[in-house]
Amino acid sequence: MPTGPQIILTLKVLVAAVTVLLVASLVALALKKPRLHGRINTVFFALTMATVIGFEALLQFVNVSATFTPEAREALRVHLWFSVPSAVLLPVMLFTGRTRRKSIHIAFGVVFAILWAGTFVTGVFFLPHN
């Protein structure tokens, strides 16, 4: 069974990796390549959802209070304040993008960007992995 620090380090790597995809998606948009933006976002969606589902499944099999220190549990709680709403918005973003509902897609995109910034900062910089 993985230890708390191993789980957190894995989470940090996955958050950083999908953030690279998100940035690539925004670069594609800036280069006026909306199809590429959509394709990258589809991969971003799939990998992020797989991470969320995998992390949740893993947490069902570990004793959270024995695996994570109180500091790590509090940091995870704060991280979840950002990551859960981000994950809830992802299907909405995918739907509005695919159906070309540009105005609502951009509005949700702004909210998602703020939430993802919190997800990234709390996931990469605040979670203790040692």
- The Cβ of residue 60 has, within 10 Å, a number of other Cβ atoms equal to 7
Which residue blocks in 31-130 are alpha helix, DSSP H? 34-61, 64-67, 70-98, 102-120
Residue 42: the pLDDT is 97
- What's the structural domain count of the chain? 1
Domain holding 10, by residue range, is 4-126
Q: What is the CA radius of gyration of the chain?
A: 16
Predicted TM-score (pTM) of the model is 0.90
Residue at token pair 């709390």 = 122
Residues 85-113 pLDDT 10s: 999 999 999 999 999 999 999 999 999 99
Per-residue pLDDT of the chain (130 residues; tens, 9 = 90+): 788 899 999 999 999 999 999 999 999 999 999 999 999 999 999 999 999 999 888 888 888 888 889 999 999 999 999 999 999 999 999 999 999 999 999 999 999 999 999 999 999 999 997 7
